[in-house]
Amino acid sequence: MTLSALPTFAIATLPAAVAGTIFREVPVQPDSDEARNLLIDELAKAPYQAAQPTLFDRVSKWIFDLFASFEIGDGNGIPTVVTVVLIALVIIAIVAALLVYGIPRLNRKSKHTALLFGDVDYRSASQLRSDAEQAASRQDWAAAVTDMFRSIARGLSERTIVTTTPGTTAYGFAKRAGEVLREHADELTVSANTFDRVRYMQKASTREEYEQLRDLETQVRTSKIDLAEAGV
């Protein structure tokens, strides 16, 4: 049996270059199984696979076909065009919102997974507080002080009282927190200066500084803040 045994439509739809390649490489008289396998192998090569429609092409065609299926009245009036345009705008708005903001629930979970005073820190306020206490038990006062100050900032952020951004400095945070927690404004400023001195100037810290920060963290964490009264 020769290549003439292949389905006529398969040969007819092949590009001339593909057909020529197959005819040059196949045996003179392959049987039907050999001819089918040769055709499958040839079409599996990269140039022919690259010519297949992409996922974007298929999605675009699906959206186009969906719009084309909508008809109002005789399908020729203005309402049909308006409907299609409105649906397209809604779809674009939804896709854009997902790309920019993500899925709301996941976005809430990742709310605090950002830079905190110049460092990437994924720990919660309670984790930071625990790490500070463990560092203090080792008398690592520098780690204890910096983690306890971060715990204060992360705790207020989790309570949506004072938010932090990648560019927020320790002093900037203390100033904003002091506007809400006026009775602790001075302590927050002192703690921010301690954090900067220990974290960035690599100065030594002390037990007294840690204990002051620990007490401040407890007071801030247990405080009941009236945001309306604070003017936030």
The pLDDT tens digits of the residues spanning 195-221 come to: 999 999 999 999 999 999 999 999 999
The mean pLDDT value for 41-59 works out to: 58
Provide the pLDDT for residue 29: 58
Whether residues 27 and 74 share a domain: the answer is no
- pTM of the predicted model, to two decimals? 0.52
For the domain that residue 168 is a member of, what is the CATH number? Answer: 1.20.120
42 alpha-carbon distance from chain centroid: 41
Range of the domain at 31: 3-50
Whether residues 153 and 211 share a domain: the answer is yes
User: In total, how many domains does the chain have?
Assistant: 3
Whether residues 215 and 147 share a domain: the answer is yes
Whether residues 141 and 225 share a domain: the answer is yes
Whether residues 92 and 8 share a domain: the answer is no
Whether residues 129 and 177 share a domain: the answer is yes
Whether residues 125 and 190 share a domain: the answer is yes
For 149, other C-beta atoms within 10 Å of its C-beta total 28
Whether residues 153 and 225 share a domain: the answer is yes
Please, are residues 145 and 213 in contact by the beta-carbon 8 Å criterion? yes
Whether residues 95 and 197 share a domain: the answer is no
- Measured CA distances, 141 to 35, 195, 205, 206 (Å): 78, 11, 5, 6
Residue of 208 and 17 predicted with greater confidence: 208
Whether residues 127 and 32 share a domain: the answer is no
What are 185's two structure tokens?
């404004």
Whether residues 129 and 151 share a domain: the answer is yes
d(CA 67, CA 89): 12
Give percent above pLDDT 90 in the chain: 38
Whether residues 155 and 194 share a domain: the answer is yes
- Measured CA distances, 97 to 59, 146, 185 (Å): 19, 37, 39
Predicted confidence (pLDDT) per residue in 132-142, tens digit: 999 999 999 99
The mean pLDDT value for 168-183 works out to: 92
The mean pLDDT value for 65-89 works out to: 61
* pLDDT, averaged across the chain: 73
